[in-house]
């Protein structure tokens, strides 16, 4: 099969022929129809996460937002069949028996296997996956629409859910890009009053089209003054990696509110005056299978939609270069 392979960090992926994987007893073999290209894929290719670097196998086929049709099942698989369309997420497998898994936090399982990092991912014509963690995709969704939901979608959903926002409360999304445009829509399904913050008018226009109640251009408006005037927000979700976005979000959140860390900042963050305001700061580490099912249900019902463009596997290095330059505003998926 054709695959894009990471041979060494900070080197272009190599397009080459590799063997089609053989599924084990508890696995399925999937013919890939689409695989999202995520900033995490770029970080993996560059060896940019010291805490993850030791887990990355080489050579490696990256890609962890995978959707395709099952073409073969292991002898122990009963709930999935040849022809089913399924998705494979960052969480390739979790043990199910550790303390965190039993508490419903399988996304934090210390024994977890990561798609496109510790095992081969979806930048290929075929991928094998654990049947227990391959989830069916609603037929109403195209494969390229569904693929980003297996990382961007589940992460945005968990950020909104874990913020604790209640119907009628104010929630601000900082950065209306690949994750932010989904967070706006998901927050609306929770009944929140959504304020979108960005520095680009076209992205703010998109946020309004997707249901944001209010938009703020951080490059031309007095962000802090606007948020003070409304009494702050109950929750702020930062999908941008900008330190400025985090600084604005910290002071936008009202006392006792929640600040959700989603975008990975390029600089260390220092939040002064936390003690005096009792702000909760929480990070988001993708999500669980239950979170994934919830996102797929929302998308399948039409409550949210992922805006995605496509590319070919042969142009994967050009796509990663565009991502490095910040030229991709939404989500992008390799379409096989």
Delimiting residues of CATH 3.90.180.10 domain(s) in the chain: 2-151+287-335
Tell me the pLDDT band of 272, cut-offs 50, 70 and 90. low
Lowest mean pLDDT, pick from 48-57, 88-97, 194-203, 317-326 = 48-57
The pLDDT of residue 269 is above 70? no
Tokens matching residue 106: 């399988």
| 319 φ/ψ angles, rounded to the nearest 5 degrees | -65, -45
Tell me the pLDDT band of 53, cut-offs 50, 70 and 90. confident
Tokens matching residue 111: 């024994």
Residue with tokens 């290929």: 124
CA distance 88 to 137: 10
CA distance 176 to 188: 14
The answer to whether the beta carbons of residues 235 and 208 sit under 8 Å apart is: no
Tell me the pLDDT band of 241, cut-offs 50, 70 and 90. confident
Q: What is the pLDDT of residues 85-142, one digit of tens each?
A: 999 999 999 999 999 999 999 999 999 999 999 999 999 999 999 999 999 999 999 9
Q: What is the pTM of this model?
A: 0.94
Delimiting residues of CATH 3.40.50.720 domain(s) in the chain: 153-283
Residue 276 has a pLDDT of: 64
Give the max Cα distance, the chain.
Answer: 62
Q: What is the CATH number of domain 153-283?
A: 3.40.50.720
Domain 2-151+287-335: what homologous superfamily? Medium-chain alcohol dehydrogenases, catalytic domain (3.90.180.10)
Residue 273 has a pLDDT of: 60
The pLDDT of residue 191 is above 70? yes
Angle between helices 180-189 and 289-301 (to 10 degrees): 80
């Amino acid at each position: 099969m054709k695959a894009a392979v990471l041979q060494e960090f900070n080197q272009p992926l190599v397009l080459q022929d590799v063997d089609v994987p053989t599924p084990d007893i508890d696995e399925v073999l999937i013919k890939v129809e689409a695989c999202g290209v995520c900033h995490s894929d770029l970080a993996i290719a560059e060896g940019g996460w010291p805490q993850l670097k030791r887990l990355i196998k080489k050579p490696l086929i990256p890609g962890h937002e995978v959707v395709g049709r099952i073409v073969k099942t292991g002898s122990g698989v009963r709930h999935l069949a040849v022809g089913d369309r399924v998705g494979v997420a960052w969480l390739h497998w979790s043990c199910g028996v550790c303390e965190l898994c039993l508490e419903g936090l399988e996304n934090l399982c210390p024994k977890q296997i990561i798609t496109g990092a510790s095992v081969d991912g979806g930048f290929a014509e075929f991928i094998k996956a654990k049947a227990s963690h391959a989830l069916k995709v609603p037929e109403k969704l195209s494969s390229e629409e569904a693929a980003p939901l297996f990382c961007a979608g589940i992460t945005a959903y968990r950020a909104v859910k874990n913020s604790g926002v209640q119907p009628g409360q104010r929630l601000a999304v900082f950065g209306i890009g690949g994750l932010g445009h989904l967070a706006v829509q998901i927050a609306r399904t929770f009944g929140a009053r959504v304020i979108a913050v960005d520095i680009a008018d076209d992205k703010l226009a998109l946020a309004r089209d997707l249901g944001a109640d209010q938009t703020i251009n951080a490059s031309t408006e007095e962000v802090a003054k606007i948020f003070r005037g409304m009494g702050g927000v109950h929750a702020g979700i930062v999908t941008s990696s900008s330190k400025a976005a985090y600084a604005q979000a910290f002071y936008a959140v009202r006392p006792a509110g929640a600040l959700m860390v989603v975008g990975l900042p390029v600089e260390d963050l220092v939040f002064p005056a936390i003690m005096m305001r009792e702000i909760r700061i929480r990070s988001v580490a993708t999500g669980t299978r239950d979170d994934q099912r919830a996102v797929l249900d929302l998308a399948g019902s039409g409550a949210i939609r992922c805006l995605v463009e496509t590319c070919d596997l042969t142009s994967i290095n050009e796509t990663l270069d565009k991502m490095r330059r910040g030229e991709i505003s939404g989500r992008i998926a390799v379409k096989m």
